[in-house]
């Protein structure tokens, strides 16, 4: 029972935003190895929520050693390894099951997803197709296979995709919404743009019902951040004394080219990798939403501001090292980083940032057609997309004004039209030499965990420039709200 009590204490600490306490409890469980059976999986998931990947992996291993081997247990354990970023370990555990033709869809879905993330697109399609042959009503599997398939070439897969609609029992849940997004991608590949837009719209309408977006709250938050993070307030906050300068922040809206830029930078010999690390989220876990928005006031009330800043810097460093140990620069392209760049600037005073922008209509359409894993509810209607983009642009302009020496602005269009020139500028800003390996980013074996998985494993191209022109009705509505 003691082990269960410790787990509950760790769970309560996470809910109460007490990170240090949670880590202490989780480490105690790993060290004492109580009999927790399936609770080890919950322990692993709890560790992942606060960026403790090593603890999560060890918890998964303890689950395996205690409950033994079975198809279901191996799939669950491999899922933890994959979430923790150890994709090779996940495949080593579960891929042998595919050789035995075990009729369990989750096996092939997981293997297919991991292979897509590592750039083995043929292996991804093969395994995802096996999952769908066993269970054609899996919306997430259809969407995953759509990201790595050209339906203009794979007509057989397209036929199966269309036929699968009759297998869905509900047309109002997240599962069917994801299937609709897969259809939208398929029709887009076939240049049937009206039908494509209709399918994306169908999926988005389902998501809106599940989680509406509060435009007013979003605008108020950005107004407050701009108001509270002024030069005088920032001058009053100490900067970290830790000598840690590995991270390079990539700022930009989703679908603005952040993943592409991250992969290019990660292909440079100086860099170790690129990820949506969420290290800053973990480092500021103890802050309430109000504290994040008015961080300067929170720090004024703190008894030891320097100690607080150094603690956050230490946690950020620890979480980063969990994914990228050793030396080398690391790209942090966490999507929410723009909202917290003022805090980032204090806990990582030596780190620079690259801001990548893109044509607003192209961003809007690309966001609309993407069912983000993080469930960005602003992306499901042209009005909320327009408002959110305007808010983000106001905020980035504020940071550029406050930190002109620390933020370099480039555009997606320049990156794909004149990549060598643009990357040379980026390298100069970061005080490193340009390396031609950056243009071979598609050969990089680093995992890609975003919706851009199918795109960044291809050579650089301009296919996505002016993409929104194929959807004039959407653009018309978007522009109405974007003015």
- Please say which residue of 36, 68, 100 terminates a domain: 68
Instruction: Give me the pLDDT at residue 215, please.
Output: 93
What tens digit of pLDDT does each residue of 34-63 get?
Answer: 999 999 999 999 999 999 999 999 999 999
Give the confidence band of 442 by pLDDT, cuts at 50, 70, 90: confident
The answer to whether position 304 is within a domain reads: yes
Distance CA 322, CA 86 (A): 11
For residues 223-244, average pLDDT: 96
The answer to whether position 469 is within a domain reads: yes
What rounded mean pLDDT belongs to the chain? 93
Give the confidence band of 447 by pLDDT, cuts at 50, 70, 90: low
**CA distances in angstroms from 368 to 101, 188, 461, 472, listed in the order given:** 37, 13, 21, 14
**Cβ pair 182, 145 in contact under 8 A:** yes
- Note the Cα 295 to chain centre separation in Å: 24
Stated as kind and residue range, the H or E segment containing 21 is: helix 19-32
- Please say which residue of 68, 100, 120 terminates a domain: 68
CB under 8 Å to 376, separation ≥6 — which residues? 254, 335, 367
Total count of domains within the chain: 2
The answer to whether position 442 is within a domain reads: yes
455 has pLDDT over 90: no
For residues 156-161, average pLDDT: 96
The answer to whether position 262 is within a domain reads: yes
454 has pLDDT over 60: no
- Please say which residue of 10, 44, 68 terminates a domain: 68
pTM of the model: 0.92
**Cβ pair 473, 196 in contact under 8 A:** no
Give the confidence band of 450 by pLDDT, cuts at 50, 70, 90: low
CATH of the domain at 407: 3.40.50.300
| Domain range enclosing 238 | 215-482
Range in 73-82, 112-121, 440-449 the model is least confident about: 440-449
What tens digit of pLDDT does each residue of 74-102 get?
Answer: 999 999 999 999 999 999 999 999 998 89
The answer to whether position 256 is within a domain reads: yes
């Amino acid at each position: 029972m003691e082990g269960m009590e410790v787990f509950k204490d760790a769970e309560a600490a996470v809910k109460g935003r007490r990170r240090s306490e949670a880590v202490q409890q989780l480490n105690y469980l790993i060290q004492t190895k109580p009999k927790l059976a399936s609770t080890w999986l919950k322990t692993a998931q709890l560790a992942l929520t606060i960026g403790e990947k090593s603890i999560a992996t060890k918890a998964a291993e303890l689950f395996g050693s205690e409950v033994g081997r079975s198809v279901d247990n191996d799939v669950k354990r491999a899922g933890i390894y994959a979430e923790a970023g150890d994709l090779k370990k996940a495949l080593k555990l579960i891929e042998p099951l595919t050789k035995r033709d075990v009729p369990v869809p989750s096996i092939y879905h997981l293997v297919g997803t991991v292979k897509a993330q590592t750039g083995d697109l043929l292996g991804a399609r093969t395994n995802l197709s096996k999952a769908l042959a066993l269970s054609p009503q899996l919306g997430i599997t259809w969407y995953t296979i759509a990201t790595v398939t050209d339906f203009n070439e794979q007509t057989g897969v397209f036929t199966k995709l269309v036929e699968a609609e009759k297998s869905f029992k509900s047309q109002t849940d997240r599962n069917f919404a994801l299937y609709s997004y897969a259809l939208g991608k398929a029709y887009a590949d076939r240049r049937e743009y009206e039908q494509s837009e209709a399918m994306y719209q169908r999926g988005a309408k389902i998501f809106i019902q599940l989680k509406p977006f509060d435009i007013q709250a979003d605008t108020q938050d950005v107004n407050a951040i701009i108001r509270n993070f002024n030069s005088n307030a920032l001058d009053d906050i100490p900067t970290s004394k830790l000598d840690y300068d590995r991270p390079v922040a990539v700022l930009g809206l989703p679908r603005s080219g952040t993943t592409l830029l991250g992969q290019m930078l990660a292909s440079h010999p100086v860099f170790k990798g690129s990820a949506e690390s969420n290290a800053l989220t973990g480092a500021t876990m103890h802050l309430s939403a109000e504290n994040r928005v008015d961080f300067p006031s929170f720090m004024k009330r703190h008894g030891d501001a320097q100690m607080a800043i150094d603690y956050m810097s230490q946690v950020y460093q620890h979480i980063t090292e969990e994914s990228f140990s050793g030396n080398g620069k690391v790209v942090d392209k966490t999507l929410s980083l723009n909202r917290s760049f003022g805090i980032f600037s204090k806990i990582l005073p030596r780190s620079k940032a690259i801001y990548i922008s893109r044509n607003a209509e192209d961003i809007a359409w690309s966001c609309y057609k993407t069912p983000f894993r993080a469930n960005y509810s602003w992306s499901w209607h042209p009005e909320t997309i327009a408002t959110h983009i305007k808010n983000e642009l106001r905020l980035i302009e504020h940071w550029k004004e406050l930190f002109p020496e620390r933020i370099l602005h480039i555009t997606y269009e320049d990156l794909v039209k004149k990549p060598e020139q643009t990357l040379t500028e980026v390298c100069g800003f970061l005080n490193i030499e340009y390396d031609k390996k950056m243009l071979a980013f598609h050969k990089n074996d680093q995992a890609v965990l975003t919706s851009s998985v199918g795109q960044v494993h291809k050579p650089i191209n301009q296919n996505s420039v002016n993409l929104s022109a194929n959807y004039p009705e959407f653009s018309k509505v978007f522009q109405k709200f974007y003015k």
